[in-house]
Chains A and B, each alone.
Chain A
């Protein structure tokens, strides 16, 4: 009997995991970065919707690890390994980090998109996770959906339609 494929949703500053045949999706990424870690041989994937580059920015207790690039990716990696993924088989695809608004403002927050991307790439490098594909920057929002069966990430934008990485 076939199990009906479900789409597991990941909210903002949130993370989750899926196994085949389910898909995993997050909607409306702006300056946030969607990070997918996947082990295709084991047909599983995890996704985090990262909002800020570094947990040192947090003044909140307890810390929401899914919110920050430097904590979310480690947490996701550990969760995947615990669920049976092979550390050597884990790869990454990322999307997001747009600059939604153009301001002349001086605040660091104004260029949070590029900073999030830098932080995510830095963390992936530290953890020696290869980045197979990325669709980052620009000034459009993105909705992404990952299929752990095929290893493809569908990306939908308002103005440029759909693409796949």
Chain B
């Protein structure tokens, strides 16, 4: 894990702030979009093995709705917005007014998938643009792609760049929560930000923090 050697607690705190700002804006966007109060958990920044990345999103076998985009520009990386299927169905209901939509019955419903993709698009776009404002770095989102599939299959794609230098990832994870969610385990969505290995020192130096190589 050589690329992680120069990362200290101070750096992890800075990445936490990065997650805080990005996801804060995304939460506001979600709140506006659904006209509901959305809470945001304090972001966690962890250095974890690839298998543990999967565990953070519910396990490699867990089926989720995920919007994935590549961050291009000064500090490339991967970003995921991940929703458990029941919550994705709920949001689709609210956005399309089709409250009976279910992935098990109509997995190919184009309107539903498009609404979900747009939700991911808006949220990750607002996450990224606030990050770009904060760091003064040019960060462009690729067109987001939607996948309803196993966590392992989806997230491993975002680990490819990191996998060339390490078996570990720094995951900036922020959970969004609908305030009046009835479900007992009501974590509604997760943002995962996975900067490419070379992007860490670019982010740190943009924020005026030295990394001793």
Contacts and interface: CB of A to CB of B under 8 A. Distances in A.
Given A12-B54, A143-B150, A158-B148, A51 B160 contact: yes
Given A11-B51, A31-B156, A32-B156, A60 B150 contact: no
B160 A112 contact: yes
Main secondary structure of the interface of A (DSSP, over half): loop
Instruction: Say whether chain B's binding surface is mostly helix, strand, loop, or mixed.
Output: mixed
B143 A158 contact: no
Contact of B51 (A12, A30, A31, A104): A12
Contacts of A158: 63, 148-150
Given A12-B156, A60-B167, A102-B145, A27 B150 contact: yes
B74 to A, nearest CB: 17
A27 to B, nearest CB: 4
B68 interface: yes
Range for the number of chain A residues in contact with chain B: 35 or more
A73 B184 CA distance: 45
A30 B153 contact: yes
Nearest to B162: A60
B157 interface: yes
B16 to A, nearest CB: 25
Contacts of A143: 60-61, 150
A98 interface: yes
B163 A28 contact: no
